[in-house]
Amino acid sequence: MLKLVSLNKSFTGGEVKTTALDRVSLDIGAGEYLAITGPSGCGKSTLLSVLGLFETCDSGEYWFDGRDIAGWSEMELNKLRRGRIGFIFQDFNLLEELSVAENVELALAYTDVPRQERRERVAALLDRLGIAHRARHRPSQLSGGQQQRVAIARALVARPALLLADEPTGNLDTAHGNEVMRLLRQINDEGTAVVMVTHSPEHAAQAGRTVRMRDGRIEADGAVLMQVAS
Ligand code: ADP
């Protein structure tokens, strides 16, 4: 579904040049569940932003659904992102001036989903995630765990093929974090590819595959041997 070939990305601030991604090559198949791990500053968030089409890279190739996106306009990239990619963040990134339902529906703006269907999809997702009774509330009136569920609903409402998650449990207590991990598992079981940045070895172990990064490079990439409790 997605292929990166020798991607490079650096940031220049004043005299200093930081290499965030150094010849990163990665293949992600439809429906895969992949965890990205590694020490702080190794390039995990940059990789996720590039995958999510929020950042462009300096050189290398990025193929999505068999198409090389090099040279695509901002409008074409936005369209691809809106239709195919969902994103959840550590700090939820919900808009406080909108209600919970409006936050979720916003992800369908500029799509060709008809108005009535938008409402139905939002209602069904809020119901599924156990927050239908909060639809008219503002995000700050909800607990952290509930806010992350709103963010998950927003990420899923356009039915993406790929869900990107940047430390989605980082601001949650253990119980709510585990709840989010269960949801990601379910979402993946239903066929959506999930790419998650995490510091937690237990959470990484729930993915089928772990990519370990160091200094902007992929240091290890492999299937995780799940430990089965006996
Ligand atoms: P991680 O997510 O693994 O902590 P990042 O992808 O955030 O790592 O950062 C990788 C490197 O790129 C770091 O050295 C970081 O300081 C640098 N970096 C990331 N974003 C920017 C930016 N917008 N401007 C300058 N440097 C950046």
The whole-number average pLDDT for the span 118-130 is 95
Whether residue 14 is predicted with pLDDT greater than 90 in this model: the reply is no
| 46 Cβ below 6 A of ligand 1 | yes
Q: What are the tokens at 226?
A: 């799940």
Cα–Cα distance measured from residue 111 to residue 224, given in angstroms and rounded to the nearest whole number: 37
Instruction: Strands of the chain (E only): list them.
Output: 2-13, 16-28, 33-37, 59-64, 67-68, 85-88, 162-166, 193-197, 209-214, 217-223
Ligand 1 near 212 CB (within 6 A): no
* CA of 39, closest atom in ligand 1: 3
Q: Mean pLDDT of all residues in the chain?
A: 93
Pocket test for ligand 1, best of 46, 58, 219 (most atoms within 8 A of CB): 46
Residue 64: pLDDT above 50? Answer: yes
Tens-place pLDDT, residues 67-118: 999 889 999 999 999 999 999 999 999 999 999 999 999 999 988 999 999 9
Specify the pLDDT at position 20. 96
With tokens 């790419």, the residue in question is: 195
Closest residue to atom 15 of ligand 1, CA basis: 41
pTM of the model: 0.93
Q: Is 44 in the pocket of ligand 1 (CB under 6 A)?
A: yes
Whole-number pLDDT of residue 181: 95
Pocket test of ligand 1: the residue of 45, 51, 56 to mutate, having most ligand atoms within 8 Å of its CB, is: 45
Displacement of CA 229 from its chain's centroid (Å): 29
Q: What is the whole-number distance in angstroms between the Cα of residue 112 and the centre of ligand 1?
A: 35
- Residues spanned by the domain of 176: 2-229
39 Cβ closer than 6 Å to some ligand 1 atom? no
| CB of residue 12 inside a 6 A radius of ligand 1 | no
pLDDT at 225 over 70: no
Could you give the number of structural domains in the chain?
Answer: 1
Query: What pLDDT is attached to residue 130?
Result: 93
> Lowest-pLDDT range, 148-152, 166-170, 224-228?
224-228
CATH number of the domain encompassing residue 202 = 3.40.50.300
Distance, CA of 49 to CA of 125 (rounded, Å): 25
Ligand 1 centroid to 46 CA: how many Å? 6
pLDDT in tens, 173-189: 999 999 999 999 999 99
Q: Of all protein residues, whose CA lies closest to atom 24 belonging to ligand 1?
A: 11
Which pLDDT score, from 0 to 100, does residue 19 have? 95
Q: Is the CB–ligand 1 distance for residue 20 below 6 Å?
A: yes
Amino acid 228: pLDDT: 47
